[in-house]
Amino acid sequence: MIKKITDKDKKDWLDFLKSNEKIQNKDISNIKEKKIFKEKFIDLHGYSLEQANKIIYNFILSSYKNGIEKITVITGKGSRSKNINNPYQSSSLSILKYSVPEYINSNSELLKVIKSMNEDDIKSISKGSFVINLKKFKE
């Protein structure tokens, strides 16, 4: 079905084009300023303690410089770690769940860019990850 444009519609359109009246842009007027929350995840499963510490060090500093606000670090629970049965290794420090946060807390350079770290997640036996909140980047 084809509708014919009436003479009145044509006249109204021409009048609008000649006037200074503008149509409200609904796309722009309905946009509210939203804070863009930047978050990253890193999974350290399968890394040795030394590798995990190097990776987390670089990851935290680069995230900070890129304006990331929150990092979720996945370490695993350590429930399948073979270190638990070895009497010559510390079960609490050989498992990434405990050793990575310990490394972060002992590194003064990392602590300068960290706002907070969720200690409850680290202590929880049912969690295999923890959250780090970073400060805002200052050049």
Summarize pLDDT for 62-82 with one digit per residue, the tens: 999 999 999 999 988 765 555
Name the pLDDT band for 26 (thresholds 50, 70, 90).
Answer: low
39-134 maps to CATH 3.30.1370.110: yes
pLDDT higher than threshold 60 for residue 33? no
Q: What is the pLDDT of residue 76?
A: 83
pLDDT higher than threshold 80 for residue 1? no
- Rounded distance between C-alpha atoms, residue 54 and residue 112, angstroms: 17
CB 71 within 8 A of CB 40: yes
Q: What is the mean pLDDT of residues 123-134?
A: 86
Long-range contacts of 56-62 (CB under 8 A, 24+ apart): 56/100, 56/103, 56/104, 57/103, 57/107, 57/110, 60/104, 60/110, 60/113, 60/114, 60/132, 60/134, 61/109, 61/110, 61/113
117 DSSP β-pair partners? 132
Q: How many CB atoms lie within 10 A of CB 52?
A: 20
Q: What share of the chain is helix, strand, coil (3-state, %, to 5)?
A: 45, 15, 40
- By C-alpha distance, which of 47, 44, 46 is closest to 60? 44
Q: What is the pLDDT of residue 82?
A: 54
pLDDT higher than threshold 60 for residue 88? no
The segment with the largest mean pLDDT, out of 20-34, 36-50, 58-72, 120-134, is: 58-72
Q: What is the pLDDT of residue 128?
A: 85
pLDDT higher than threshold 60 for residue 87? no
Q: What is the mean pLDDT of residues 126-138?
A: 88
